[in-house]
Structures are given as C-alpha cells and as structure tokens.
Amino acid sequence: MVKTTSLWYINCVFLAFMQTWRASKNRINQDGKMKQLVIILTCVAFLAAGRRSNTCKKGDVEKLSKEVAKLKTVLYNAFKVLEIHTPDNNEYRHPPIDVSGKSFFAFSVKACHDAHLELQQTPGDTQTDNYEILLHGYASDPKCGIRDNLGTLFAYESAKVLVKGERLSCDEMRPFWVSWAGGNIEVGTGNVYGYGTFMSWKDPEPHAVNAINVMTGWGAEGDWIVLA
C-alpha cells in the first residue's frame, strides 16, 4: 500500500536527511549520495502528499527501496564517531565524552537491560552536578528514569521521573537521544532530536553539561554507538 510504504520511506529518509544537514558537504560527497538523497526525498514527499509527478511514480520509489537501505547505512556509518563496549560492572569507567557547547546527544545501544548515561558538569565527576539517565532498569519490572545528582543507586529514592516499559534489546541496536537544553532533561527514541520523547524533567536549578559517560551492569553488558 502506498500509505504504509511511504511512511517507511519517510522514516528512513528523514533520519538520513537530518544527519546529512548537520554534516559537512564534503563527507557526504565522498560517498556520492547527495543526489540520490534529494531524488528519494522528493519522491517520498510526492507520495506522502498523495500527488503525482511526471518524474516520480510509485514504481520508481519501490525500485529505490534497496538504495534507501544502503543510503541509510552509508549515512549512519558516516556520522558514527565512537563505539564503546561497557562490561557488566556497574561503574562509569570509560573516558567521558566531550559534549561542551552542545545541548543534545544522539546514540544507539544494544543491551538486555540497565543502560546508564551520566550527564556531567565536570568530566569524570560522578558525585556532584550530574544527571543520570536510566534505560530499562529493573529487568523483572522494566523502568526508565531520570535522576539528579545520583547519590544513590536506588532509583525509587532518587528518580525525578520513572517510566515503565521495555526499551532495550539484547539482539539489536536501539537509537535514542538525550537533551539538556535550558535545564530541561529530555529522552527520546530515534536519532532525530525532538521526536519520540518519552521522558522529561525540568531542573529548577540547572547546571551545565560538558561530558557524558555510559555504563551497564546488574547482569548486562552493552555496545554503544555515538553519532556526530
């Protein structure tokens, strides 16, 4: 069906387009994909609007399905800047990721449960002026949460927000984004900032976020991909 097909294309192409827009033209041109991206995006726009074009028909877009998948992979790899494996150790051991001057962070993670991010004002400081994001904690009763200044590993005591539901997978990467703009801590699914928000909390006394650290534990290991 045109509706289902077009929505799938919009998802793929919109992610690619947003990532492309944020990158330098040189990086994209090295793969020779910019022209394809524009053509596919135009076709999807016509289909989504229910309009016809002399240069873009339903059959043309369907033939491009494999190219869209390839393009998405190329763009994803082009903007992948860091890969991290976190062991089952319940500690932030990896070097903090510099996010100074930024207001959001896009990443993907594969873990059965208990993927944690700490948003730090002082890189490496896990005790003061930080926010912690918990994804799919409590394996038997999955929850996600936002904590302020950690202080304790018991989410019920320190969480500002708790949201029930499974969010992670043992077998596949799941994309997320985190934002701290203006002291508003938000978490969403996907790699497009502002879409898919499922958790948020406004800090009445916000502090800067200059670094992010990640960890897994409580029986889970994790693989992370950080996007530019």
Q: What is the pLDDT of residues 134-171, one digit of tens each?
A: 998 877 788 899 988 754 444 445 678 888 888 999 99
Give the separation between CA 72 and CA 195, rounded to whole angstroms: 18
* pLDDT tens by residue, 192-219: 888 899 999 999 999 999 999 999 999 9
For residues 62 and 132, membership in a common domain is answered with no
| Of 23, 49, 79, the domain-final residue | 79
For residues 10 and 91, membership in a common domain is answered with no
Give the separation between CA 209 and CA 121, rounded to whole angstroms: 5
| Of 30, 60, 79, the domain-final residue | 79
For residues 116 and 220, membership in a common domain is answered with yes
- Angle of helix 65-79 relative to helix 2-21, nearest 10 degrees? 30
* pLDDT tens by residue, 49-94: 555 445 555 565 555 556 656 655 555 555 657 899 999 998 998 8
Query: 75 near 192, Cβ under 8 Å?
Result: no
Average pLDDT over the chain, rounded to an integer: 76
How many domains does the structure of the chain reveal?
A: 2
